[in-house]
Chains A and B, each alone.
Chain A
């Protein structure tokens, strides 16, 4: 039933660690995959991925999509306490008008 599955559900790491968050999806007419960061307020947009194998990078965050295996990963290097948040993955189909969101990965970075 769930079109987007994220793992792990939660993660606790120490500052400086590198983390990898996973998002697998199952939609019939894939168009794009998006990553959002949600702290105690609005989800903020991180990346939109449409093509396989092309890494998107923003500072310490990077993401890549594998359309053959139907998943994406979000990497965060040299984590900081400010990275603590829920990271949401969403998938968009060519048909329909909605994004399908996963339940998120809750990341806690401890000093």
Chain B
């Protein structure tokens, strides 16, 4: 009965490279949320997806960031041309329905050199 899975757990990229973060929700959950946590800050909402649809991307930077949740496979958060300021922990959460408590994955810690 696996929980939310994220990989990789740690990712190091040089400036200008691409980062791909993956999230597999809990079994039976079709709602996925991505959050970013900077040092000394709280979790900041980025995007909410349901299978094949982006429902709310109001927290996503307008450039370089994109997210998808295909019919098959994990949700992907993609950051193009990473910069040092992208270094953070990125958490994914899932829920079986909207407005339910969200269950979090262990996070991916992205370090941009």
Contact = CB atoms under 8 A, between A and B. Distances in A.
B65 interface: no
A41 interface: yes
B41 A103 contact: yes
Contacts, number: 54
Contact of A98 (B3, B59, B105, B106): B59
Given A42-B91, A42-B105, A103 B48 contact: no
Given A34-B101, A42-B91, A92-B99, A98 B40 contact: no
Interface string A33-48: 0101000011111001
Interface in B19-55: 33, 35, 40-45, 48, 55
Nearest to A100: B45
Contacts of B4: 42
Closest 5 CB pairs of A and B: A98-B45, A97-B56, A42-B104, A101-B42, A101-B43
Nearest to A89: B42
Contacts of A4: 42
A43 B44 contact: no
Report which residue of A34, A45, A98, A100 has the largest number of chain B beta carbons within 10 angstroms of its beta carbon: A98
Nearest to A42: B104
Interface size grouping (class) on chain B: 20 to 34
Contacts of A34: 101
Interface of B: 3-4, 33, 35, 40-45, 48, 55-56, 58-59, 91, 98-99, 101-107
Report which residue of A96, A97, A102, A104 has the largest number of chain B beta carbons within 10 angstroms of its beta carbon: A97
Interface residues of A, number: 23
Contact of A43 (B40, B59, B91, B99): B91
Given A98-B59, A102-B42, A103-B42, A42 B106 contact: yes
Contacts of A88: 42-43
Given A97-B55, A103-B40, A45 B101 contact: yes
Interface in A55-107: 88, 90, 92, 96-104
Given A41-B106, A41-B107, A96-B56, A101 B44 contact: yes
